[in-house]
Chain A
Amino acid sequence: MLHQLEGSRAIAKAVALCRPNLICAYPITPQTHIVEELGEIVRSGELQNCEYLNVESEMAAISATIGSQAAGVRSYTATSSQGLLHMVEAVYNASGLDLPIVMTIGNRAIGSPINIWNDHSDAMAVRDAGWIMLFAESNQEAVNLHIQAFRIAETVKCPVMVCVDGFILTHAFERVNIPDQKEVDEFLPTYKQHITMDPVTPLAIGAMVPPEYFMEVRYMAHLKQQKSISVIEQVRDKFSDKFGGNSSGLFHKYNAQDVETIVVTMGSVAGTIRDVVDDINCKHGNKFGVLTLISYRPFPQDAIREILKSAKKVFVVEKAFAVGIGGILAQEIKLSLLRTNVPVISIIAGLGGKPITKSMLFDCLLENHQRDTKFLGLNDGLVKKKCSFAGDCCTNN
């Protein structure tokens, strides 16, 4: 059923349709509207058999979901930015214990300096934590991904993070199709836990693992991520069958066949990029395509290489970077294109909510780049004024 809804409210409704038994969160901008709405859904009785736990920190929020999920019930939490970093060790712990928790990240910059606006620094900080990480481009996709996330998590026995751009998606009102409860129930079977806290057959969960076995445990986590690539596709297919429409999966390809240049990106900026690419193609012939990654973890490396290897140039537009090196996604794309001659240009954009305009992108994509890494919209003058050793290294071109 179609609704005109704020992204956070839509996500909350999607989560509620998945019938979690425990919702636990600590407020942080821009995640707040999601958990406020869920609180209301639980308190109003709309969602039955669910506890809503107000806790004292994000660490407690993820920890409580670890506890409830280990004890056998479907559990959900949401956070952003500093909150995600506050829970980091538990983020690793949740995946280490194979707990299929679903967590929404309202993506936001990491301080200091404190900044409440959108970028992907928070999610990128936990990219090695062993979670499945899905990035939504739109509010509809956020809804779809959340419903799929529970099924993926529970199939693979791995926690799933659904990343939605703070404010840009979380606070944007859009027309969204919210499925019926009955359909979701048919799509998402009742959760049956694989490990138990059952006095009849007691298990110890969370053993220490000595050096002889630790590497094996981590390698198996790696295998699991690789296996989940196909699971994500299967779940996408089932979702499409059930609910129709273009239902995510590992990535979206936009005009990415037989073009010279492909722009790779993640999240809500993909729409802007598609518009820019359309403009370029309109003006200069069909030269540009777009690859929007939904599944950042698992990273579908082989499929990415297949798509990109025949391009003459690849741009990676991303909202985070590894200080001291550059684009994070760009590095991984470069790694995927190892032993090909495809050059990869990294464009760091929109940090801390800096606007990404079509014209900036238009110019940038058509520029003759001197450097591998470009910071889109960087105020060179300000940097040179404030940083004595800036020299010309911060020159944009």
Chain B
Amino acid sequence: MDNNCPFATVLSATTSPRNKTGSWRTMCPRYINLMPPCNAVCPTGENVQRWLSFARSGNFRQAWNVIVQNNPFPAIMGRICYHTCEKVCNRSHFDEAVSINILERAVGDMAISHGWKFENVVPATGKKVLVVGSGPSGLAAAYFLRKFGHEVEIKEARALTGGMMRYGVPRFRLPGSIIDAEIRRITDLGVKISCNSRVSDLGSEINKFDAIYVCIGASKAIKPDMEVKSGSSVIDAVDLFKKLTNEQSHSVKFEKNVIVYGGGNTAIDAARMALRLGAEKVNIVYRKTLSSMPAHETEIHEALSEGIKILCLRTIRVIDHREVLIDKMNYDEESGILSKSGEEETLIADSVILAVGQFMDDSVVRNIEGIVVTDGGIIETDEYMMTGAKGIFAGGDATSTKRTATVAIAHGKKGAQYIDAYLNGKEVEQKSKPDVINFKKLNTSYYFSSPRLTLPPISSISMEERTIALTGDEIVTEASRCFSCGNCHHCNNCYVYCPENAIQKLLDGSLKVNHDYCKGCGICAVECPCGAIKMMPEK
């Protein structure tokens, strides 16, 4: 300012920043990361919000990288995971949950078609781990153990890898090529898998390996209490799927009427499979009510849409050739008491498929010192997933009654961590988890109702998988529906609305409070759509 200018009444620009208004502040905004409910409920701990945030910006590779930090099977799980994440999605309080599962499949498929590989493992530790069983739990354990730098060998009793992913899920839901592709990535990491190698002597294996992870699944069918007259056509679902997997589908055919007995996902899968193998009328017979069926809602829905009928509150008493004698039941949902109503009926069935549950074949662990199999038929482990036998850990369906592939993968991941800790003589670091953010903490003024992405309706009953070919834009659009609960997704609201220009946008797009000027008004916290800014008392 030269002397020619009037004193005091005329001022140069940019002189106000010397007035540090930050001194007015009593509360200070802080960027926080809260736990989004999707992440919180995911058994594998998938950071759903984070990979969706990469997907929304079109960085699908990075999205995939984030998924496989917790789950090595995006393409498989994008098909068969029962996605509890969507149930708890905060967006469902607003319009409809984000279609996380479909997006996971899309990203997983993209990885397969682009040939994306896992990132390199850390240097070898020289430790060797045996994994017994190549189901989702074993494969996941192998993947994580390998990533810790351990040498891993998987022994699989059956002819093919994949466990129940291969033998328990029909191919029209999960094509074999997808299983192959995602397992190949694990073998590419250097994991050795031997099929047709039933472990007969676990006790001696422990001398050859530094640790063992037993995840032998629950592959034996439970026989229901009923009378089956000889000559009746009755098959276990487990056997049906095994046959279909090993011998190809054309070797199995059904006649007109089929009854499937059971209420779980296997029953649903078996029913739908029967429909594809010649049956015209398929009835699922289930002893309790529809709402108490353990099968997943979407599976039930799809079965119904294919014309399958579900006959509830019925148990089979006798199967006599084509006649199936049924007891009608009463079920009190509150008390859980199931009783015969006294009524009966006879249904006609050319075949009956039994799908009332599975149990573990405990021959592998029988007689191993320290390993205890409970009355419920599962292997007992301690809090670190180790059995009573030192160095022998167990997980998957063999240790749990929550028998889903997702839980199995979660076991594999955790088991690997515990085994790694065991091998290194350390404890697994227990990270404190941030609070879960609920819908009320979000500011949804910045979101707009938009329909969720859905799979196309079933147009024909086919052995082929229903294809969805999502464009990148479609993936971005759906991923953009994510509220990014509890985590900044760089929407810029704080930057835009700060009356003090006290929010700085860094080169990487992240945001920072400039404490020199922030007066602590808190607009940023209120207008943050994600609830990712918290006002903290100024010290």
Q: A residues near B, CB below 8 A? A: 96-98, 157, 194-195, 201-207, 209, 213, 216-217, 220
Determine whether the beta carbon of B9 is less than 8 Å from that of A96: yes
B448 on the A face (CB < 8 A): no
Q: How large is the interface on B (under 10, 10 to 19, 20 to 34, 35 or more residues)?
A: 10 to 19
A204 touches B13 (CB 8 A): yes
**For the complex, is B5 an interface residue (Cβ under 8 Å from A)?**
yes
For residue B2, which residue of chain A has the nearest CB?
A194
Give complex CA distance A207, B9 in Å: 5
User: B9: which A residues are within 8 A, CB to CB?
Assistant: 96-98, 205-207, 209, 217
Q: What are 20 of the A-B contact pairs (CB < 8 Å)? A: A96-B9, A157-B6, A194-B5, A195-B5, A195-B6, A201-B13, A203-B11, A203-B13, A204-B11, A204-B12, A205-B9, A206-B9, A207-B8, A207-B10, A207-B11, A209-B8, A213-B8, A216-B8, A217-B8, A220-B7
Task: Give Cα A207–Cα B515 distance, bound, in whole angstroms.
Answer: 27
Closest B residue to A157 by beta carbon equals B6
Distance from B3 Cβ to chain A, minimum over Cβ atoms (Å): 10
A98 / chain B contacts, CB cutoff of 8 Å: 6, 9
A204 neighbours in B (Cβ, 8 Å): 10-13
B424: CB under 8 A from chain A?
A: no
Chain B 221-259: CB-based contact to A (< 8 A → 1; otherwise 0):
000000000000000000000000000000000000000
Other contacts beyond A157-B6, A207-B9, A207-B10: 11, CB < 8 A:
A97-B9, A98-B9, A195-B10, A202-B13, A203-B5, A206-B10, A209-B8, A213-B8, A216-B7, A217-B9, A220-B7
B4 at interface, CB cutoff 8 A: yes
**Chain A proximity of B89: nearest CB distance (Å):** 49
**CB pair A194 B4 closer than 8 Å:** yes
B1-36: CB near A (< 8 Å → 1, else 0) gives 000111111111100000000000000000000000
A203 and B11 alpha carbons, distance in the complex (Å): 6
B-side contacts of A216, CB under 8 Å:
7-8
CB distance from A160 to the nearest CB of B (A): 17
Per the bound structure, the CA–CA distance linking A128 and B5 in Å amounts to 22
B residues in contact (CB < 8 Å) with A? 4-13
Assembled-state Cα–Cα distance A209/B11 (Å)? 11
Cβ-closest 5 pairs across A and B:
A202-B13, A98-B6, A209-B8, A204-B11, A213-B8
**How far is A90 from B430 in the complex, measured between Cα atoms in Å?**
72
When distances are taken between beta carbons in the complex, the residues of chain A under 8 Å from B12 are 203-204
User: Could you tell me the distance in whole angstroms from the C-beta of A284 to the nearest C-beta in chain B?
Assistant: 53
By beta carbon, the residue of chain B nearest A202 is B13
Cβ of A203: which chain B residues have Cβ within 8 Å of it?
5, 10-13
Give chain B nearest CB distance to A95 CB in angstroms.
Answer: 10
Chain A at the B interface: SS class: loop
A202 to B10, CA, bound (A): 11
The minimal Cβ–Cβ distance linking B1 to chain A, given in whole angstroms, is 8
Of B4, B7, B10, which contacts A205 at CB under 8 A?
B10
Measured CB to CB, the closest approach of chain B to A221, in angstroms, equals 9
A326 to B4, CA, bound (A): 40
Chain A nearest CB: distance from B5 CB in Å? 6
Chain B residues with Cβ under 8 A from A207's Cβ?
8-11
Question: In angstroms, how far is the closest chain B Cβ from the Cβ of A54?
Answer: 30
A202 to B13 Cα, complex, angstroms: 6
Determine how close the nearest CB of chain B comes to the CB of A206; give it in whole angstroms: 6
Q: Which residues from A are CB-within-8-Å of B4?
A: 194
**Chain B residues whose C-beta falls within 8 Å of the C-beta of A220 in the assembled complex:** 7
A275 CA / B199 CA spacing, docked (Å):
139
Collect the chain B residues with CB atoms within 8 Å of residue A97's CB.
6, 9-10
User: In the assembled complex, how far is the CB of residue B413 from the closest CB belonging to chain A, in whole angstroms?
Assistant: 59
Distance between Cα atoms of A216 and B8 in the complex (Å): 9
**Chain B residues with CB below 8 A from A195, complex form:** 5-6, 10
B5 and chain A: residue at smallest CB distance: A195
A229 to B11, CA, bound (A): 28
Smallest CB–CB gap between B403 and chain A, Å? 71
C-alpha spacing A157/B9, complex, angstroms: 14
**Within the complex, what minimum Cβ distance (angstroms) separates A232 from chain B?**
20
CB distance from B255 to the nearest CB of A (A): 87
Residue numbers in B under 8 Å from A213 (CB-CB): 7-8
**A213 to B9 CA separation, bound complex (whole angstroms):** 10
Chain A residues positioned under 8 Å from B7 (CB to CB): 213, 216-217, 220
Q: In the complex, what residue of chain A is closest to B1 when comparing beta carbons?
A: A203
Taken together as a complex, chains A and B put the C-alpha atoms of A204 and B10 apart, in Å, by 6
B5 contact set on A, CB distance < 8 A: 194-195, 203
Most buried by A among B10, B12, B13: B10
Min CB–CB distance B17 → chain A (angstroms) = 14
CA distance A194 to B5 in the complex (A): 7
Kindly state the separation between the CA atoms of A257 and B10 in the bound complex, as whole angstroms: 46
Q: In the assembled complex, how far is the CB of residue A48 from the closest CB belonging to chain B, in whole angstroms?
A: 29
A220 to chain B: closest residue by CB? B7
Q: Give complex CA distance A103, B78 in Å.
A: 82
A98 to B5 Cα, complex, angstroms? 9
Chain B nearest Cβ from A119, distance in angstroms? 34
Cα A186 to Cα B10 in complex, Å, equals 31
CB proximity of B10 to chain A, nearest CB, Å: 5
Nearest Cβ in chain B — how far from A224, in angstroms? 10
Complex Cα spacing A220 to B8, Å: 11
Determine how close the nearest CB of chain A comes to the CB of B216; give it in whole angstroms.
Answer: 77
Question: Taking CB as reference atom, which chain A residue is nearest B13?
Answer: A202
Q: Which residues of the partner chain B approach A194 to less than 8 Å between Cβ atoms?
A: 4-5
Nearest B residue (CB) for A224:
B6
CB of A181 to closest CB in B, whole Å: 29
Residue numbers in B under 8 Å from A209 (CB-CB): 8-9
Cα–Cα, bound, A213→B10 (Å): 13
Closest residue of chain A to B6 (Cβ to Cβ) is A98
> In the complex, which residues of chain A have a beta carbon less than 8 angstroms from the beta carbon of B6?
97-98, 157, 195
Q: Min CB distance, B325 to chain A, in Å?
A: 93
